[in-house]
Structure 1
Amino acid sequence: MLLKKLRFLLLPCSLIAFSLQAQNAPVVQQAETGTLGADWTSPTQTGVQYVTVVPTATINAQNPGTAARIITYSVTFPGPGTYDLYARIRVGAAAANDDSFYYGNGFGTKLPADDTNWITANQLSNVGYSNATEVVAGAGGGQQQVWKWLNLSAFNGGETPISFTVPAGNLTQTFQIGAREDGLDIDKLVFGTTGLYFTVANLDAGAQGSSTPPTVFTPTGLPMATGKPKYLGGVYSNPQKPFFNNYFNQVTPENAGKWGSVESTRNVMNWTELDSAYALAQRKGYPFKMHTLIWGAQQPIWIENLPASEQLMEINEWFAAVAQRYPNIAQIEVVNEPTNDLPLNGSTGNNGPNTPGSGAGNYYNALGGAGTTGWDWVITSFQLARQYFPNTQLLINDYSVASYTVNTQRYLGIINLLVARNLVDGVGIQGHAFETRNIPMANIVANLNLLATAGKPLYITELDIDGVNNATPPALDDALQLAEYQRVFPALWEHPAVRGITLWGYRPGHWRTAQGAYIANGDNTERSALVWLKNYVRTTVLSAKGQQNANLTLHPNPAADGHFLVQGGQKIQAIKVFDLNGRLLKTVSVPNQPVAEVNLDLVSGMYLVQVVEAQGVTSRKLIVE
């Protein structure tokens, strides 16, 4: 017995302290049991009582602002030690506009309007954990409108997170949280011993965590498209950060680059997450694509009711601020989804109706509205972008523009307006699962060919492919997802006009997590589609076929009577003539000759001539007088 006591006494003090600390049970605090400020309510829904703040247009950037927006708790701990803060939350339907709150910067009563007293927990819409066996760590893949757990002490939601130290002899502490955005529900808070690993089931039950870290798969290797003539990039956000460099060699921020994320409060800029994405690209030498400057969603609420002249001034300030902070942007999606989501309250596009306060921006008319071209607001946006970003490749971006030819033609009409003014350098084509499922790839490829007639490189900007079946409830289906990847991806990757593809997420936390669109699991293991994709991209040799023929000319140009020669060809096979809206007007078959003659019976104007040769397709503009 004496020997055992001596052995205990000889243990290092740090080990004794940790041993004692690890015995401290987690402390569970139901959110509604605190002293609620007047702006908080405590409803009950489907058996869960929670707290939520009343709707308000007032959001302080870095603090609750008033005592009415604070909840105060008295928390008694079982013993001294350091604790991490966990929260069970639910983000509302407005996603990025419903996903933030504050917690106290340490214990004690805080000053409502003192920024240093509070830690901002923002961008919670696509993070968190909801599966019982998941260890609740720094990010996770939770979605909106579901209850999920977060380890706030391990997640940077805009400010450096903290843990909480409880000293011996002072086990009862005051703790406070504060409201930021309405639409966020909080069910319970848990203080769990730092250094232990808590699963969702542990936290739900208030049970102790484990000292054994979870076993996870660790990816290795270089990005898939290393050494290729086109990039395979990824969207960058907290859920997508782990092992990004093992898969992708181009960076696009997910929500961090949207104006509403950066400047939700006028003249108060939150660059934290966007800085992180840009820093990675600069550090690794990856192209950085800014997403996005102008859109009809996720825009600042405060700009909606300003006079048009003041709105235009703010747009200029937004462009200038981005240009100053990020001088080495490779690509910018200047206007996002122009055919689907106008920056106009009352717009009834595919994403509409845009109601006041929805984040549409409502600055459509400040940019010129439809104007004489029908798309003056888009042209003005690109003119401003060319002014502020003279050395950056300017892109337009939209969805459902390659699925159906009528949409392709409409999109091409906008692109050609920009091309004629030398305002656009590339064409973004989203590739979400709802755009490709049940659409023959031959149709999509034909529409990509049509968009390529504008003479600008194409980029697949937001590719994802679902991975669940039609069971009730739907279940993950690796074989189904793999088959769809094998059907869709090669046609896009090998298209000669496509210069890069960006996956819109690859891990849980993906915006289509519920549809199983992620290709790596939460423990980093790779689903079948990712295993195949790595091998396909790394081993597929991309042909030089498809390069533009620099020697090819149209003569004379202008063609006074619609008669011209195509010269400098290399085994010309066909010549196609389109109008500026992408409508095919004439096809001439050519038996592999270097020169071809074309006679057009067309009214005067500008046309696009696509010359199909053995080695690829070349586009030229033709003026008919």
Structure 2
Amino acid sequence: MTMTRTFTFLAGAAWALLGSGATLAQNAPVPQQAESGTLGADWTSPTQAGVQYVTVVPTATINAQNPGTAARIISYSVTFPGAGSYDLYARVRVGAAAANDDSFYYGNGFGTKLPADDTNWITVNQLNSVGYTSGNIAVDGGGGASNNVWKWINLSKFNGGEPPISFTVAAGSLTQTFQIGAREDGLDIDKFVFGATGLYFTVAQLDAGTQGTSNPPTVFTPTGQPIATGKPKFLGGVYSQPQKPFFNVYWNQVTPENAAKWGTVEATRDQMNWAELDSAYALVQSKGYPFKLHTMIWGQQQPIWIENLPAAEQLSEINQWFAAVAQRYPNATQVEVVNEPTNDLPLNGSTGNNGPNTPGSGAGNYYNALGGAGTTGWDWVITSFQLARQYFPNAQLLINDYGVMSSTASTQRYLTIVNLLTARNLVDGVGIQGHAFETRNVPAATLAANLTTLASAGKPLYITELDIDGVDASTPPQLDDAIQLAEYQRVFPALWTHPAVRGITLWGYRPGHWRTAQGAYIANADNTERAALVWLRSYVQSTVLGTRSAKATAVHIFPNPSAGGHFTLSGTGLLTKVRVLDMQGRLLQERTVKQEETIDLQLNVAAGLYVLQLHDAQGFTSGKLVVK
């Protein structure tokens, strides 16, 4: 979906009227009690524990990108002390349903908005794991407050689904109309504050409505290069708004947390929201980090609108989804094709570990459109990878699941799917999640042994979603650095040093982490490093790992393109095997290599694009062959 944003540029005398930036920064903050506006009929204003707030009634309909009706809007008349730019802060409380209670809209600039016009509104979602409750740090775009607590968020710096905005007040127009709109019920809003852009406000200053400061009250500023710089494996991070600060200091691989999920991108049919995913892609393009798209097919966070379409139409939409992502992100290193196949089928009524998948839950319900169980038991997975090989010919295709390295039975079940895909040349790597609930109380030797079993398929392994909790057993739990450090020292080496593991991605490292309540973050909101992060940096940098051969750069292919299908490969002495596949993953030719520095290949194929796989003892890399 194309979002229209209006920006006003002032010059000459008009700028003189607004004054200098230093003058504007003196404008006092403007508090606005949420209940002080004109409430639409779907809003109510209860009082609890002395706090009066607004919330939307549970029976109201949720629109994907706008409030929909005037009944779901609140209007405010706000008078400002002076012209200038203001950031919008909000004090909110997310209900017990967490991700289902954490979104609303605010107007795209001042003025009366059209209730059903997407371009009139900024969507604010994913509030359940961000925000600030206290502390002498600036209320910025992240924070790690969870649910059922009052917390402050700088909405002008938080991308909760659409790029945020600041608000411009012109001289002579100091009184403005500001509007918000309802999205999900269960979100409570206490107050707003308009604070001068460029100033930093703490929770205490926002609570009191007092002026901010020109310098952020930062406790610690980390510096340096990514932890795994110079290592043959990457140590990456999940990319989302709370995790962006100082990302480049720590991590050298990027996985979008929610931005690449179909339900995030195309919540409304044919209206695409690429903003946050574009942000992640821009980072990897500028830094050269490996980039993994997470995830194309899953039984959660899928568009609601696809659930009841006919199977043929569902399959057509899946093709369109793959094509749109492939066209927009052609340099993706890896594509996670199917997520959690053994735990969460894209099928309403499925009762897997994440189920039951009920209508409207975001399961997608397109399991049968992809072939269902079929003759293999996993035809829907195979079809998904066939599509991925077609649309992403230059990316490594990954499968991903959890609970697979903590249980021998689960490992074997997962290996069955991997072997089915391997036999069809459809999978290039195996993703294994590593959440705290998977590794806790499981011997490190068991984790390593199950990784070895998965590696028997001949594909590289990736630990895709590592987190380790850091709280004690008290009630309520308290942060405990020693507990987290000990678990990192027990678990991480077994994963990092395993010869089949090519990289590890932490599923968040700052507050705002999905397991913030369990203390799984390793850097605090003030940027200080917890003991586990201090140890992790030292351990990774000091641990010597086996060096992988540089075959991807050492092998030379000539000519490419070829007019007759004849190719010569040089620099192949370290290879064990060369394979040529078509764009559907079908094996066309295979050649075993035994310390040969030069290989000739003759392909008797039609003109087109083909995939060349170069195998050595540690796995393979892929390249393109062009026959004219």
TM range (shorter): 0.7 to 0.9
Partner in structure 1 of residue 38 of structure 2: 35
Q: 3-state DSSP class of the match of 1:526?
A: coil
Compute the displacement of 1:164 (Å): 3.1
Matches within 5 A, 1:220-299: 220-299=223-302
Compute the displacement of 1:279 (Å): 1.3
Deviation >6 Å, runs of 4+? 12-17, 545-552, 616-619
Q: Does 2:351 correspond to 1:357?
A: no
Partner in structure 2 of residue 69 of structure 1: 72
Partner in structure 1 of residue 221 of structure 2: 218
In 1, Cα distance between equivalents of 2:354 and 2:480: 29
Compute the displacement of 1:107 (Å): 2.6
Compute the displacement of 1:464 (Å): 0.7
| 1:137 counterpart (136, 140, 154) | 140
TM-score, normalising length from structure 1?
A: 0.81
Q: Does 2:337 correspond to 1:334?
A: yes
Q: Does the 8 Å contact 1:348/1:354 carry over to 2?
A: yes
Q: 3-state DSSP class of the match of 1:138?
A: coil
Deviation digits for residues 183-208 of structure 1 (CA, Å, limit 9, x no counterpart): 43322212223333221222234344
Deviation digits for residues 490-524 of structure 1 (CA, Å, limit 9, x no counterpart): 11000011011001111111111111111111121
Partner in structure 1 of residue 381 of structure 2: 378
Which has the higher mean CA deviation after the structures are superposed, 542-551 or 56-65?
542-551
Partner in structure 1 of residue 102 of structure 2: 99
Distance 1:45 1:308, change over 3 A: farther
Partner in structure 2 of residue 395 of structure 1: 398
Q: 3-state DSSP class of the match of 1:386?
A: helix
Matches within 5 A, 1:178-577: 178-543=181-546
In 1, Cα distance between equivalents of 2:206 and 2:103: 21
Which has the higher mean CA deviation after the structures are superposed, 456-465 or 298-307?
298-307
Mark the structure with the bigger radius of gyration. Answer: 1
In 1, Cα distance between equivalents of 2:68 and 2:384: 36
Compute the displacement of 1:163 (Å): 2.9
Q: 3-state DSSP class of the match of 1:153?
A: helix
Which has the higher mean CA deviation after the structures are superposed, 27-36 or 262-271?
27-36
Deviation digits for residues 87-106 of structure 1 (CA, Å, limit 9, x no counterpart): 11233455555433222233
Compute the displacement of 1:46 (Å): 5.1
Q: Does the 8 Å contact 1:21/1:79 carry over to 2?
A: no
Partner in structure 1 of residue 597 of structure 2: none
Partner in structure 1 of residue 623 of structure 2: none
Q: 3-state DSSP class of the match of 2:207?
A: helix
Aligned length: 548
Give, as a single letter, the amino acid of the residue that structure 2 aligns with 1:22. Answer: Q
TM-score, normalising length from structure 2?
A: 0.81
In 2, Cα distance between equivalents of 1:401 and 1:17: 56
Partner in structure 2 of residue 606 of structure 1: none
In 2, Cα distance between equivalents of 1:173 and 1:547: 62
In 1, Cα distance between equivalents of 2:24 and 2:177: 23
Give, as a single letter, the amino acid of the residue that structure 2 aligns with 1:449. Answer: T
In 2, Cα distance between equivalents of 1:180 and 1:476: 34
Give, as a single letter, the amino acid of the residue that structure 2 aligns with 1:365. Answer: N
In 1, Cα distance between equivalents of 2:535 and 2:178: 49
In 1, Cα distance between equivalents of 2:215 and 2:282: 33
Q: Does 2:40 correspond to 1:22?
A: no
Q: Does the 8 Å contact 1:252/1:289 carry over to 2?
A: yes
In 2, Cα distance between equivalents of 1:168 and 1:87: 25
Distance 1:160 1:396, change over 3 A: closer
In 1, Cα distance between equivalents of 2:387 and 2:17: 64
In 2, Cα distance between equivalents of 1:459 and 1:469: 29
Partner in structure 1 of residue 613 of structure 2: none
Q: 3-state DSSP class of the match of 2:293?
A: strand
Q: 3-state DSSP class of the match of 1:71?
A: strand
In 2, Cα distance between equivalents of 1:16 and 1:337: 55
In 2, Cα distance between equivalents of 1:211 and 1:373: 63
Give, as a single letter, the amino acid of the residue that structure 2 aligns with 1:108. Answer: G
Partner in structure 2 of residue 585 of structure 1: none
Give, as a single letter, the amino acid of the residue that structure 2 aligns with 1:122. Answer: N
Q: What is the root-mean-square deviation of aligned Cα atoms in Å?
A: 3.0
In 1, Cα distance between equivalents of 2:17 and 2:71: 45
Compute the displacement of 1:291 (Å): 0.3
In 2, Cα distance between equivalents of 1:125 and 1:166: 30
In 2, Cα distance between equivalents of 1:437 and 1:425: 29
Q: Does the 8 Å contact 2:222/2:249 carry over to 1?
A: yes
Which has the higher mean CA deviation after the structures are superposed, 505-514 or 82-91?
82-91
In 2, Cα distance between equivalents of 1:531 and 1:193: 36
Compute the displacement of 1:17 (Å): 8.4
Partner in structure 1 of residue 558 of structure 2: none
Give, as a single letter, the amino acid of the residue that structure 2 aligns with 1:39. Answer: D
Q: Does the 8 Å contact 1:316/1:384 carry over to 2?
A: yes
Q: 3-state DSSP class of the match of 2:128?
A: coil
In 1, Cα distance between equivalents of 2:25 and 2:539: 50
Give, as a single letter, the amino acid of the residue that structure 1 aligns with 2:26. Answer: A
Q: 3-state DSSP class of the match of 1:29?
A: strand
Amino-acid identity (%):
79
Compute the displacement of 1:55 (Å): 4.7
Q: 3-state DSSP class of the match of 2:540?
A: helix
Which has the higher mean CA deviation after the structures are superposed, 529-538 or 472-481?
472-481
Q: Does the 8 Å contact 2:18/2:83 carry over to 1?
A: no
Distance 1:388 1:144, change over 3 A: farther
Q: Does the 8 Å contact 2:108/2:119 carry over to 1?
A: yes
Distance 1:170 1:391, change over 3 A: closer
Compute the displacement of 1:38 (Å): 2.3
| 2:152 counterpart (143, 149, 152) | 149
In 2, Cα distance between equivalents of 1:199 and 1:518: 22
Give, as a single letter, the amino acid of the residue that structure 1 aligns with 2:286. Answer: R
Deviation digits for residues 97-131 of structure 1 (CA, Å, limit 9, x no counterpart): 54332222333222323444333333433322123
Distance 1:46 1:298, change over 3 A: farther
Which has the higher mean CA deviation after the structures are superposed, 253-262 or 542-551?
542-551
Give, as a single letter, the amino acid of the residue that structure 1 aligns with 2:195. Answer: G
